[in-house]
Structure 1
Amino acid sequence: MFRRALLRLGAVVLLMIVGLGLYLCFWPVPAEPVAWSAQTPPGFTGAYAPNTRLAGLRVIDLGDEVGPEHIAIGRDGKLYAAMLSGNLIRMDRDGGNREVFANTGGRVLGFDFDAQGRMIAADALKGLLAIGPDRRVTVLTDRVSVDDPIGYANAVATASDGAIYFTQSSTRFLPAQWGGTYAASLLDIIEQSATGRVLAFDPATGNTRVVAHGLSFANGIALSSDGLSLFVNETGRYRVWKVDSRADNLDVQSGSPQARVLLDNLPGYPDNLMRGRDGRIWVGLFKPRNPAADSLAEKPFLRKVLLRLPRSFVPLGQSYGHVFATDEEGHVTIDLQDPSGAYPETTGATETADRLYIHSLHAHGLGWLPRNSFAERPDGAK
């Protein structure tokens, strides 16, 4: 009888092992990962040598609000921030007189201000929006054509001629369908099908066109000083592109001179891009790279298996505060780090005459540094 019980137990264990194997190998998942080549992570060397210049941030209390994902100064001199709650909050630059400016009913990830003083917002659920000083929300565009919707608008840059450039992170995984922006971004970056795009909206005609495509999670965007080029973060492949703003439906992978990699093989995942002072462009690194994630770049089957495991198994990397400034030729001029990651997921930086505000996806407050703690020293050292 004992032997029979052992045999039954063994059979049950074997069936469980076979069942688990079948699940891990064949259970349907939403992504179809493709192989790509990840360069060897550079680590924190050279221009990104380890430092603690971002540590000890001063923090503005935001009450119950969480995650100032994007921060900018409006035409009225006020500080605006897009929050995880969906609120767009407005406040004095010291955090005083805080109020809800608007709520789009979606999730704004980036915004800019046009010559009329309107907030032009990229809403991941709603598309490209305009919010006037009267707080009225208007949809500018939510599709390129009838059968080509814009389901993951992310970042915005307004040009002096009125043109509005913005990124669409993915055409494969839309936040409205996959549990929000964060869940959709994980699926897109794990898959690596590179469906991210740069789009342009013409307010005069109401037309939306594709400037460039072929980006693995297109994210932050900024205009060059002459307005002829766009700087675009490609989060999924750790790099920043420089793209001709006049390009039309350009595949960035085609080798065209209209698109080149400005910064490659970054030590983390680039998120927001913001124009600063004195020609600077600020880049936020959401998290540092994880060698385990890079090791799976050419192993799409294993990445598919990973999607069948609990999300805690996804190699996202540890929290590590990191923002840096570059010039338009890709020379890093300022680098600020906080290895402790006390202020989590530093998605970007907004520079004013006396402060540097730090964006974050999940921080419970708005971090900032006084200018004398981050400005370049006269000898050019960082």
Structure 2
Amino acid sequence: MILASYLGLWPVPIDPVGWDAPSAPGYTGEHAANSKLAGAQRIELHGEVGPEHVLAGPDGKLYTGVRSGNILRMNPDGSGQEVFAATGGRPLGMAFAADGSLVVADGVKGLLSVAPGGQVSALGDAQARFLNAVAIGAGGKIYVTESSTRFTPARHGGTVEAAMLDVMEQSATGRVLEYDPATKALREVATGFSLANGIALSADGASLFVSESGRYRVWKIAIDADQLDVGKQSAQARIVFDNLPGYPDNLTRAPDGTLWLGFGGQRNDLDQMARRPFLRRVVLRIPRFLWAAPKAVGHVMAFSEDGKVLDDLQDPAGASPLTTGATVSAARLYIHNADGGALGWIAHPPLAADALTGVLSGNPRSEAAAP
């Protein structure tokens, strides 16, 4: 009786919403099982954990934010590691502005700017609840995803826990915001996402690619949309990928225009509870070590703007299951992850000289833009 009362009545932080989850496709077709990501090399981070997003800087160095709140800077081979800045929060997505400053979507502190000397400052009043990824348009406007307006890393045990709660609830409160540094104005571009995550600009700067982790989708949205609800049909938004085999996470753009997407986890039994909100409450009352976990698979993919899968890389051994994204730089593909103590990389075809110049120049039309 006591156990039944606990499982049925103990308070939980979510108010789950029913939704129609598609059947998981598994690793088939364009995502057929492979080992292209297996055996990745490691750049040890010497006690730091969670290089959730990796960015190639205009100085030729790599930048990554970690769980401690530090932003690390290092040479492409991992040497010369140093703390470039400390946000005091959880730095996630990053992008370089035209003036050389580093714009950071911090899951705890909000939208930040880091000067070339490492000084951190808040950008206006654009302090949303759970910022995740950032991209900068050619005119300097900043586009950022707010994963959830219901659950925050500061109040709910960190970014992974807050994200899990948002996906379990399915209230779809994620948004895409635009911040104009010139006017300090904040505008809501689109809303209605179940855990809005990665973001990247289209090559022509007219659209935004946005990954929606909680419903396994990638969207393409008009950059001039205003308060667009993606739950309602609109000519300003279309789904590029639907029913993906994992939770889509960071989006980055390679110098050749290819878009890269990481999968921050694999599909699990949550789909079977999509129309049963009560069961999701019950699950949250069960100790985590009793949860059935899917087989860990490291997974990133590359695609073109028209939605063609160009490459799909997996690590069936699951050495880094939270492969949140991938960044192309020089002759390496760096693998982001949310929980590891090292930065992974694999060999990648060398970039053409003009393409490499583009990515290191901070040009937002070619630079990796988001987590």
TM superposition score normalised by structure 2: 0.92
Amino acid at match of 1:303: R
Instruction: Give the counterpart of 1:255 among 233, 248, 251.
Output: 233
Q: CA deviation at 1:314?
A: 4.2
* 2:299 corresponds to: 322
Instruction: Give the counterpart of 2:285 among 308, 311, 316.
Output: 308
* 1:13 corresponds to: none
Q: CA deviation at 1:31?
A: 0.5
Go from structure 1 to structure 2 and tell me whether the alpha carbon gap of 1:250 and 1:277 turns closer, same or farther (over 3 Å shift): same
Go from structure 1 to structure 2 and tell me whether the alpha carbon gap of 1:307 and 1:142 turns closer, same or farther (over 3 Å shift): farther
* 2:273 corresponds to: 296
Single out whichever of 219-228 and 75-84 deviates more from structure 2: 75-84
1:363 and 2:346 aligned: no
* 1:156 corresponds to: 134
SS at match of 1:278: coil
Amino acid at match of 1:183: E
SS at match of 1:262: strand
Go from structure 1 to structure 2 and tell me whether the alpha carbon gap of 1:190 and 1:160 turns closer, same or farther (over 3 Å shift): same
User: 2: CA distance between counterparts of 1:142 and 1:204?
Assistant: 13
- 1:37-186 residue pairs with structure 2 within 5 A? 37-143=20-126, 150-186=128-164
User: 2: CA distance between counterparts of 1:314 and 1:167?
Assistant: 29
User: 2: CA distance between counterparts of 1:224 and 1:196?
Assistant: 21
Residues 48-79 of structure 1: CA distance to partner in whole angstroms, max 9, x if unpaired? 11110000101112111111111001111110
User: 2: CA distance between counterparts of 1:299 and 1:21?
Assistant: 18
* 1:12 corresponds to: none
Give the ranges of 4+ consecutive aligned residues of structure 1 lying more than 6 Å apart after TM superposition. Answer: none
Contact map agreement 2:332 2:346 (CA 8 A) in 1: yes
SS at match of 1:253: coil
User: 2: CA distance between counterparts of 1:69 and 1:135?
Assistant: 19
- 1:225-244 residue pairs with structure 2 within 5 A? 225-244=203-222
Q: CA deviation at 1:219?
A: 0.4
User: 2: CA distance between counterparts of 1:191 and 1:315?
Assistant: 18
Amino acid at match of 1:211: V
User: 1: CA distance between counterparts of 2:293 and 2:91?
Assistant: 23
Residues 245-285 of structure 1: CA distance to partner in whole angstroms, max 9, x if unpaired? 10011101110111111100000011100001322100001
TM superposition score normalised by structure 1: 0.90
User: 1: CA distance between counterparts of 2:190 and 2:209?
Assistant: 12
- 1:274-289 residue pairs with structure 2 within 5 A? 274-289=252-267
Q: Tell me, which stretches of 5 or more residues in structure 1 are unaligned?
A: 1-17, 144-148, 375-382
Q: How many residues were matched structurally?
A: 352
User: 2: CA distance between counterparts of 1:62 and 1:179?
Assistant: 23
* 2:357 corresponds to: none
User: 2: CA distance between counterparts of 1:244 and 1:314?
Assistant: 39
Q: CA deviation at 1:142?
A: 4.5
Go from structure 1 to structure 2 and tell me whether the alpha carbon gap of 1:294 and 1:315 turns closer, same or farther (over 3 Å shift): farther
* 2:361 corresponds to: none
Contact map agreement 2:331 2:350 (CA 8 A) in 1: no
* 1:379 corresponds to: none
User: RMSD across aligned C-alpha pairs, in angstroms?
Assistant: 1.5
Q: CA deviation at 1:312?
A: 2.8
* 1:10 corresponds to: none
Amino acid at match of 2:180: D
Residues 16-38 of structure 1: CA distance to partner in whole angstroms, max 9, x if unpaired? xx121112111211100010111
Q: Tell me, which stretches of 5 or more residues in structure 2 are unaligned?
A: 352-371
Residues 186-212 of structure 1: CA distance to partner in whole angstroms, max 9, x if unpaired? 111100000000000001100011000
Instruction: Give the counterpart of 2:321 among 325, 336, 344.
Output: 344
SS at match of 2:231: helix
* 2:311 corresponds to: 334
Q: Which has the higher contact order (CA 8 A, sep 6+)?
A: 2
Instruction: Give the counterpart of 2:175 among 193, 197, 220.
Output: 197
Residues 157-179 of structure 1: CA distance to partner in whole angstroms, max 9, x if unpaired? 01111010000000001111111
1:206 and 2:184 aligned: yes
Contact map agreement 1:141 1:208 (CA 8 A) in 2: no
